[in-house]
Chain A
């Protein structure tokens, strides 16, 4: 027995080394902290089963459609109109949030006023309020007979059930991204550069445009990109207020649902694949932006 046991004992480090070498693809240094295998295993397993494999289904199913089958839905006139609305409205909302989000962040960081904590907490409302609730609430405000809509209708301004309604919903959804990304950068900004600018005779506006704005613009851009990325795929808050007319106020995610309801899974998948590719490009761009921002903050 001992003669059998001995090689086993001797081989144990070998097999551990072999495992170490295999894990070496992943693990660079040995650490005395245990649990790498288990925690990495759980992470990779969950990530694969919940996220990666299901997401790959979109591309594999799309590939099965053939180019013509894919393009028939993904690049149909109706789909193109939906992309245009989704991206156009998301861009418009991001631009509006850039201006008002920056003012909000500025006011929250630089000024004191009563109720500031309450206001600051309220900024995160879109993160906490379910999108469907936001959707019906905004519709109650902006429908032609709504709280605000009834005052705008006589002036000939329609917001509810038009593309403008989509923009209003996307402003709601994207607002906290801009404020929360700009706030910490604005708070970190040293007073010295502004004092230097003032000493050199710059007006407050000149200091803002030439000193402060360049310093916070990467954060502002990142916040807008995050808001934009979120807005492009947004569904719940939009569909109630949009009116959902094909070619006019139908967003791309809704078109996916419409295809599914018509049992056109292939068509739904083709549109989904197109949107995913665009989202991944956006994600890549945001990662670059955040890297740039980090470098600016550390130097």
Chain B
């Protein structure tokens, strides 16, 4: 090791600290992860496959993919717009706007679902109007999508904003003064500069969107085969003491989490310099 002896810990202290850290992570992170897969196969492979091929499980999978397929692209548009407006221009109340974008991070998921019940629910602000027009938001897909966008609102913007601020405006100004249009400047100059940061944000946004539980639980109504996303389906199976099936479905989401972690780590190692504040 290149660390000079005077500022290095004795070998036994190093070993002890490494052992404590690894023990803590093994107990709190690795063990729960292992439990998901072990419990999923507790009743054998056939039961595992049956749990996943169950029509309710498949419809939950479809709904989860649908909700993410709507919420994530919308968040990309909002995140790109917000970080462009905030990073490329000067205006008052900028810190305030950034705080507002961060706001969903500090709201309990349950409250994030509740707010839409208050607005679109039966006794909510638009409840009567929606019913008269035969529209349904709560206990239907639109409610799930809204709650998911709320929860994941800051993810893309939070990743892009520091990156765009770091990169400044020189390249865009150069492209524009050479006659490029605003849109082609964005497409050919800004977007390539932030693409890895964008992908990073989208990864985290997607993981959260597909895994969100509290917020969608409040707006879903738990209608089997109709408004149950995968996390909600897991809850139902679990509460029916159908543990092996619950863990089988959970193992799919745990697999998604692992893929997310692998891609995220790959981005961090490969493109550390092109991600915001992660160059360590």
Contact = CB atoms under 8 A, between A and B. Distances in A.
B103 interface: yes
B177 to A, nearest CB: 7
The contact size tier of chain B is 35 or more
B141 interface: no
Nearest to A240: B238
Contacts, number: 309
Given A40-B81, A132-B211, 17 more contacts: A35-B84, A38-B81, A39-B82, A107-B17, A107-B21, A110-B3, A120-B265, A128-B264, A130-B231, A133-B231, A140-B243, A204-B10, A233-B109, A257-B110, A260-B114, A260-B117, A265-B117
A28 B90 contact: yes
A94 to B, nearest CB: 14
23 contacts: A31-B88, A32-B177, A33-B173, A33-B185, A34-B176, A43-B101, A57-B125, A100-B21, A107-B17, A107-B21, A110-B3, A111-B14, A125-B33, A128-B264, A130-B210, A131-B231, A132-B250, A134-B32, A148-B31, A187-B280, A191-B7, A233-B107, A256-B110
Given A43-B81, A128-B207, A253-B110, A51 B103 contact: yes
Contact of A26 (B32, B93, B104): B93
A126 interface: yes
B20 A127 contact: no
A34 B182 contact: yes
User: Which 5 pairs, one residue from A and one from B, show the smallest C-beta to C-beta distance?
Assistant: A130-B211, A233-B108, A236-B213, A235-B214, A34-B182
Nearest to A100: B24
B257 A26 contact: no
B91 A283 contact: no
Interface string A260-279: 10000100110010011001
B150 A129 contact: no
Contacts of A129: 33, 211, 253-254, 257
A138 interface: yes
B111 A253 contact: yes
Contacts of A38: 81
Interface in A111-148: 111-113, 117, 119-134, 136-138, 140-141, 147-148
Interface of B: 1, 3-4, 6-10, 13-14, 17-18, 20-22, 24-25, 28-33, 35-36, 39, 77-78, 80-82, 84-86, 88-93, 97, 99-111, 114-119, 121, 123-125, 146, 149-150, 153, 169, 172-173, 176-177, 182, 185-186, 204, 207, 210-214, 217-218, 230-232, 234-235, 238, 243, 246-247, 250, 253-254, 256-258, 260-262, 264-265, 269, 277, 280
Contacts of A4: none
A52 B111 CA distance: 13
Given A129-B254, A283-B106, A31 B29 contact: no
A125 to B, nearest CB: 5
Nearest to B80: A39
Interface string A131-173: 1111011101100000110000000000000000000100110
Contacts of A131: 109, 211, 213-214, 231
Contacts of A46: 78, 81-82, 153
A126 B217 CA distance: 19
A61 B124 CA distance: 9
A241 to B, nearest CB: 10
The residue among A53, A128, A236 with the most chain B CB atoms within 10 A of its own CB is A128
